[in-house]
Structure 1
Amino acid sequence: MIKLKTALLAPLWTLQLLTSAKSFLDNPILGSTRFNALGLHVGRVKLAAGMTAWRRRRLAGKVPPAWREAFDRDGFVMIEDVVPPAQFAALRAAILSYQGPAREMRQGDAITRRMAIDPAMLAAIPALHALLARKDLVALLHYVASFRITPLHYVQTIVSRDGANEADPQEALHADTFHSSLKAWLFLNPVEADQGPFTFVRGSHRFTPERIAWERQRSLSEPNTIDRLSARGSPRVTDQDLAAMHLEPAEALTVRGNTLVVADTLGFHARGAAMKPGERVELWSYARRNPFLPWLGGDLLSVPGLAERRINWIWRARDKWEHRLGQPWRPVGIRTPMDPKAI
């Protein structure tokens, strides 16, 4: 039976080599120490990095130079007062008072609430619609994602130190996958050092010879002998690993409200440790695409009218096929971003 299953799935596993598939556990070809000793994982890493650099060169012209230079150097860009200060208070108040369908997920002692920025929210908060359509911000998001793609946009609330005994896995320093992808946070409130700030290792988005050597070494471990999240393609990194890659320690980014951070989560990052219970609210954006595609656009789900409906479609699909796809995001009814947690 096992041999038959392997024979049936082998073509799919092979096709996944040219996709964003990353799990050494779910795809025995990706996780093969024999193939990785011959250079499979490192070859995918180098090809993806080359394609990303080629696409970014074609997208660079529309990005404000100071933002592009900061991102190229550090792997993230931090923009204070991204919304004109005279307009920010009204935008923040409108978002925090908005009532709509919400979902929550618990990881360790943290709860994350997300509300889709969907047609209903955009109609209710025109200033939010205008912000997400700003040409300079769109150009920056495209550049970091390396595609002309519309990210998934959410209002996100992080409830820290909620009393569970397990640690929040997002506090472990990690990369999201083996190739570049976009995440962005527009913080509606200040985030101090003890409130779980976004943490990043400057320059860790680049595939230096030392980073390549680290990627090769980790690909030679049997998937069942390392921690599950790393084996699933989101590798954890230690202080010793950073030193071996000639990288500085991770830096916690304390921010004022109205600060936008846009990052390539190929770089090593984490949610900083929260020292006390609390909440932070942000606009959170995410985009990841097959890194081997040579074109910049062509994503039909980025078309206006479809893009803002994708999150609800994804949630409903996972609800329907939960037994196969899994669904960690539980509906918690009509909420505001600052309502008490439901789970």
Structure 2
Amino acid sequence: MWRAPFWLVALATGAKSFADNPILGSEALNRRGLHAARFKLAQRLAWWRRRRLAAAVPAVWRERFDRDGYVEVRDFLPTEIFERLQQSLTSREFDGREQQQGDAITRRVPVGPGLLRNVPELRKMVEDRSLRSLFAYVASTRAEPLYYVQTIVSGHASGAPDPQLELHADTFHPSLKAWLFLTDVTDDQAPLTYVAGSHKLTPARLAWEKARSITIKDSDRLSQRGSLRIRPDELPTLSLPEPTRLAVPSNTLVVIDTCGFHARGSCDRPTVRAEIWAYVRRTPFLPWTGLHLLSWRPLANRRAKWLPSILDRLDRLGLVKQHWRPAGRKRAIDP
């Protein structure tokens, strides 16, 4: 009972796990619309914040996102700048962390002050005003993203099927993930897939969210933890199309709202791809777009490097589980 106040306070945050919070996971409360109400309020607040951020975003990007839930921009950087950036990030070895899910391994190198200082093209990219305005619009907040040099190694490891191959929404409220691909991603190299329009608040989506929340105890583990899975044959019942496979050349920027349904595409051979990856997720029920203390520049540029050490310490104390293990020094394109 002493934890009940914390479970209650979590209702006003981005807490999403039905399994870890008996209030969020309550079948009786969700029958009465608890989860559906949080979903609806989070969506409406996000679009309200986006309207205040819209003026800074190029109209063509804004229109694509509003319609599809993602933006794809090919040849994002000038060719000479991209080639220098690509060479700098794929030819050097960096200390990183990796995590295995099924037969896929994700390896990340945090982007901190040292990397920004040594790779000026990277600093120029993350400070680009048009990029920052697009990120703010999609994330519905001016909070600074976390940046990583990321490698996805598919089909090289033994294990169960990769859970990222299943269509899913990361959480119940809008948030951002973005990729600037350093290598080509062909259709047989596990490309990102996205269900166009699945980021929108519609009566069908709201009804689906409510139905899933009521029967969540019978769902898979990741759905129970708040990342709801959806079968491809369910998409037509929500008036949604088949997923789009974003097979794109290098120097393509892809930005998505992870409240929409997405997945890693399947592949039938071992593959390696490298990218600059960005992530923003903020408490969804705040009415303002700024006032994010961790976005203060001296902190913002260091968060990605500090986070693994913080999680290591919490793991030793038994408070959280650290899933990211040291990977040693490797290049971004190493398998």
Q: Which of these residues, 16, 33, 39, is aligned with residue 10 of structure 2?
A: 16
User: 1:321-341 CA deviation, whole Å, 9 max, x = no partner?
Assistant: 11221111111223321234x
- Match of residue 266 from structure 1: 259
Question: Do structure 1's residue 230 and structure 2's residue 213 form an aligned pair?
Answer: no
Question: Do structure 1's residue 70 and structure 2's residue 64 form an aligned pair?
Answer: yes
- Match of residue 4 from structure 1: none
- Match of residue 142 from structure 2: 148
Distance 2:232 2:266 in 1: 16
Q: Which of these residues, 33, 43, 52, is aligned with residue 39 of structure 1?
A: 33
Q: Secondary structure at the match of 2:263?
A: strand
- Paired residue type of 1:164: S
User: 1:239-279 CA deviation, whole Å, 9 max, x = no partner?
Assistant: 23211101001111110110000000100000001210010
Distance 1:251 1:317 in 2: 37
Question: Do structure 1's residue 276 and structure 2's residue 269 form an aligned pair?
Answer: yes
> Aligned runs of 1:241-256 on 2, under 5 Å?
241-256=234-249
- Paired residue type of 2:287: P
Between stretches 317-326 and 114-123, larger displacement belongs to 317-326
Shift of 1:100: 2.5
Between stretches 214-223 and 140-149, larger displacement belongs to 214-223
**For structure 2, which runs of at least 5 residues remain unmatched after alignment?**
none
Distance 1:332 1:201 in 2: 33
- Match of residue 320 from structure 1: 313
- Match of residue 100 from structure 2: 106
Q: Secondary structure at the match of 2:161?
A: coil
> Aligned runs of 1:1-343 on 2, under 5 Å?
7-223=1-217, 225-322=218-315, 323-340=318-335
Q: Check conservation: 2:216, 2:223, Cα contact below 8 A.
A: no
Change (3 A) 1:28 1:265: same
RMSD in angstroms over aligned alpha carbons? 1.0
Distance 1:253 1:186 in 2: 12
Distance 1:294 1:222 in 2: 29
Change (3 A) 1:15 1:181: same
Distance 2:52 2:240 in 1: 28
- Paired residue type of 1:282: E
Q: Secondary structure at the match of 2:77?
A: coil
Between stretches 60-69 and 236-245, larger displacement belongs to 236-245
- Paired residue type of 2:306: W
Q: Secondary structure at the match of 1:305?
A: helix
Shift of 1:222: 4.4
Shift of 1:165: 3.4
Q: Secondary structure at the match of 1:113?
A: strand
- Paired residue type of 2:283: N
- Paired residue type of 2:234: D
Distance 2:103 2:275 in 1: 19
Shift of 1:180: 0.2
Q: Secondary structure at the match of 2:302?
A: helix
Between stretches 194-203 and 298-307, larger displacement belongs to 298-307
Between stretches 237-246 and 267-276, larger displacement belongs to 237-246
Length-normalised TM-score, structure 2: 0.98
- Paired residue type of 2:251: N
* Runs (4+) off by over 6 Å: none
- Aligned pair count reads 333
User: 1:169-199 CA deviation, whole Å, 9 max, x = no partner?
Assistant: 1111100000100000111111111100000
Q: Secondary structure at the match of 1:321?
A: helix
Distance 1:148 1:269 in 2: 23
Distance 1:221 1:294 in 2: 31
User: 1:138-164 CA deviation, whole Å, 9 max, x = no partner?
Assistant: 000000010011100000001110141
Distance 2:334 2:262 in 1: 28
**For structure 1, which runs of at least 5 residues remain unmatched after alignment?**
1-6
Distance 1:221 1:270 in 2: 23
